């Protein structure tokens, strides 16, 4: 299996666009860490961007969110891309490698609009290549985290005409290339985007799980990951149930939705005895040159 890791490293160091994936525990994070070290030694720190869709994921790769790096923040409309990203055009012009972790959390429309603007920054000589010829290294697992749903960008849009002197998207016309995003009314995965298809990624799947040694347990986790759950799987995980200790520490609950977490936290706060006190903070800072 180390050979598969070497395959990923070799493809990336050859300048190929690479997407490597695998279930939890197959070493994606370790491979990514090794990749960043090798690529920065080859190209320099400023030419290699380590990004992720969320702050927590970005911290894990020692980088920043893709939205922050791009300069667009969380765009509320298509015009946000050109207007806000123009300030970061020199960074994009000098970039050689864009690394994105947890790519399953990116929306297809976001990736395509980002691609449009970056191609403009990189000039006409590179405009026919995804992200203007910047090497793309994506990793993540589409069986785990879905795309983050924010304010929807048009997913059935057309590629805009590009004012390369200003870096802002012009109004789309009927003659412009239609982006083949499959889902028009729902958040689409990035492999449904035009950019992903045009980048012609070399796809490598890591299959050896190092986090667990129990072969049967790994097999059951793999089935759950794919939604292949039957009575056998339920009985297997049911046997892992155990009685929790009866003490003052309440067990941590894991929830899928932020609204459920907020509801539970509010209920627990309301159950506390005593008087509620409010404190108003007055923060200030001094900017030092």
DSSP string, 76-111: SSTHHHHHHHGGGHHHHHH--EEEESSGGGS-HHHH
Look at residue 88 in the predicted model and tell me its pLDDT: 87
Mean pLDDT of 55-83: 84
Q: Residue 25 above 90 pLDDT?
A: no
**Tokens linked to 66:** 């893709």
Q: Residue 65 above 90 pLDDT?
A: yes
pLDDT bin (cut points 50, 70, 90) of residue 59 is very high
Look at residue 202 in the predicted model and tell me its pLDDT: 95
Cβ atoms 139, 89 nearer than 8 A? no
pLDDT bin (cut points 50, 70, 90) of residue 2 is low
Mean pLDDT of 150-162: 48
Cβ atoms 204, 11 nearer than 8 A? yes
| Residues in a beta bridge with 162 | 169
For 173, residues 6+ apart whose C-beta sits below 8 A from its C-beta are 158, 161
Across the chain, mean pLDDT equals 82
Look at residue 134 in the predicted model and tell me its pLDDT: 95
Range of weakest confidence among 74-88, 153-167, 182-196, 237-251: 153-167
Q: Residue 269 above 60 pLDDT?
A: yes
Largest CA distance in the chain: 68
Q: Could you tell me the end-to-end alpha-carbon distance of the chain, in angstroms, rounded to an integer? A: 51
Cβ atoms 95, 182 nearer than 8 A? no
CATH architecture group of domain 2-206: 3-Layer(aba) Sandwich (3.40)
- The SS3 assignment for 187 reads coil
Q: Residue 226 above 90 pLDDT?
A: no
Q: Residue 182 above 80 pLDDT?
A: no
């Amino acid at each position: 299996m180390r050979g598969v890791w070497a395959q990923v490293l070799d493809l990336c160091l050859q300048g190929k666009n690479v997407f490597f994936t695998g279930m939890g525990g197959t070493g994606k994070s370790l491979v990514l860490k090794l990749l960043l070290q090798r690529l920065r030694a080859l190209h320099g720190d400023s030419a290699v961007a380590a990004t992720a869709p969320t702050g927590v994921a970005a911290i894990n790769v020692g980088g920043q969110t893709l939205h922050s790096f791009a300069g667009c923040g969380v765009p509320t409309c298509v015009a946000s891309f050109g207007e806000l990203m123009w300030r970061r055009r020199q960074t994009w012009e000098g970039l050689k490698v864009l690394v994105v972790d947890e790519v399953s959390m990116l929306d297809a429309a976001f990736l395509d609009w980002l691609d449009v603007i970056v191609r403009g920054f990189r000039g006409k000589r590179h405009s026919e290549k995804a992200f203007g010829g910047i090497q793309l290294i994506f990793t993540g697992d589409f069986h785990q985290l879905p795309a983050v749903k924010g304010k929807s960008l048009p997913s059935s849009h057309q590629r805009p005409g590009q004012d390369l002197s200003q870096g802002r998207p012009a109004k789309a016309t009927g003659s412009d290339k239609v982006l083949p995003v499959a889902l028009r009314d729902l958040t689409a995965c990035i492999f449904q985007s035009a950019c992903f298809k045009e980048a012609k990624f070399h796809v490598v799947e890591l299959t050896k799980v190092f986090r667990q040694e129990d072969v049967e347990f790994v097999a059951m986790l793999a089935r759950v990951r794919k939604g292949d759950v039957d009575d056998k799987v339920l009985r297997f995980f049911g046997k892992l149930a155990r009685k929790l200790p009866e003490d003052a520490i309440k067990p941590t609950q894991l929830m899928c939705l932020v609204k459920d977490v907020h509801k539970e936290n509010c209920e627990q706060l309301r159950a506390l005895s005593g008087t509620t006190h409010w404190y108003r903070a007055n923060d200030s800072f001094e900017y030092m040159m």
